[in-house]
Structure formats: structure tokens, C-alpha cells
Amino acid sequence: MWTLRLLALGLALLPGLRAGPPYLTDDPEPVDFRHGEAYLFATGDRTDVGAAVNGPAVELNYGVWPDTQLHLVLPVARFTPAGGATVSGPGDAEFGVKYRFARETAARPQAGLFPMIELPTGNADRGLGNGRAWFRVPLWLQKSWGPWTTYGGGGEAFNSAPGQRNHAFGGWLLQRDLGSHLTLGGELFAQAADAVDGRGFAAVNLGGSYHFNGGFSLLFSAGRSVRGERHTLWYLALYWTGGPAAKIQTIGSVR
């Protein structure tokens, strides 16, 4: 049972704890039409039974239609069980479509769906993948006023791989622009048990982004669980965005 538990955690941690850079909570705002985003990133999660790292990894987003973006993540995965040797190799790829069905007004938040499929491109026998395709179907909301932005929501994950289980997840975030270059924020994120022998958790993350120029930014966050399973989390990325007429998103809406 302990071996199954260790493998299940390795599989679950690698793809499951990444959402809206640099946070676990995502937003409903897609990339502008005919614009693109690229992230070169690494993310990690340490628990009582081991440490999982995605990185180096690449995330690509492109606005294929107004209010609609395509999403792709290609990671290198590493998993180190407590007291054991590190294994590494290609991880599970992620593909998704973000669709904003309601735009923000003075009285109403914007809202969107962001279904994703995790493709079993990693070696599950080595703890570097899930072994089967699995899905996440979340609903996200966002509202801004002045330099402040808040967003959040949640959904359900559907995972039929051995040792895994379907689970709910959700979170909420508040962030503020501090001038034209720096944005800082914090989130509360919770997830039900995603393994048959696991527990859920709630975590607090603090992070932000620093915008340089020409569409380049540095994104960062770190946090830990405050309830349930122990998780120590971090994220670090270099970010680029651009498109026709050099319309660049500000760091307050880096996603």
C-alpha cells in the first residue's frame, strides 16, 4: 500500500498543481485575438513522501478567435521519493481551450471556461506521468477596479488512472498593480483528495510579476498548505507576449 501511495503521489503532483501562472488559481481572460504568450518555467511541490518538479517546461498560448485561446504545456518532469533516487524525463503534456463567454462590465465580472486534457506522454511506471489521459473542467470569474484585480472559481477533475480519483478544486486570488512594473498578490487554493489513499489540502500562495519592457516579465510565487496534506509550493518563469500592432498586455493581466 505504501508503494502504491508513493507512486500515486508522484503521478498526481507532477501535472496537477499548476494552473494560472504564477498561481494555482486561474482567470477567465484569454490571450487577445492573434496574440501569443510563451512561458519558460519551473514549478515544484514538496510533500512528506517526496518532491516533484516540472522544469524546464514551456507553456504556449495563442488567441485563435476573439475570446478564445489555445493552450499547450510541454514539461520535463522530475520526481524524488523521500529517501530514494531522483527519476526524470518527459512529463505529461497539457492541452486546453480557454473560452470567455461573458466580458466584464461595471456591474458584472467576466467569466470563462478552461477545459484541459492531460495527455499521458510521461512514463507512469517511473512516476513521471499519470498513465492515462485525464481532464479538468473549471469555471473562472474576474473583476477589476483601478489597480486591483480579483479572480477565482473552481471545477472538477476526472482521473481514472490506477491509484487516482476524481476530485474538486477551487481558489480565489487578490492582486494589486504597484506602479507600471510590479504586481503582487495572494491566493487561497483548496483541493479534495486526488488519490485513493490521499487527503485534500488547502494552501496559501504569495507571488507576483515584474514587467521589464517589450512584453517580457518575470513571474514568481511560493506558498505552503495550511490544512490537510503537507505541500510546499513554488513557481518561477520568464514570460513573453506579443502580437499585431505590438499590443502588449500589462503585468496586471499577464494571463
End-to-end alpha-carbon separation of the chain, Å? 40
Cross-strand partners of 134: 118
Residue 19: pLDDT band by 50, 70, 90 thresholds? Answer: low
pLDDT of 9 over the 60 cut? no
The pLDDT score that the predictor gives to residue 135 is 97
CA distances from 227 to 60, 167, 230 (A): 33, 17, 8
pLDDT of 246 over the 60 cut? no
The pLDDT score that the predictor gives to residue 182 is 97
Other CB atoms closer than 10 Å to residue 151's CB: what's the count? 28
Residues 6 or more apart whose CB falls under 8 angstroms from that of 11 comprise 124, 127, 129, 130, 131, 161, 163, 164
Residue 129: pLDDT band by 50, 70, 90 thresholds? Answer: confident
Query: CATH classification of 2-253 is 2.40.160.40, yes or no?
Result: yes
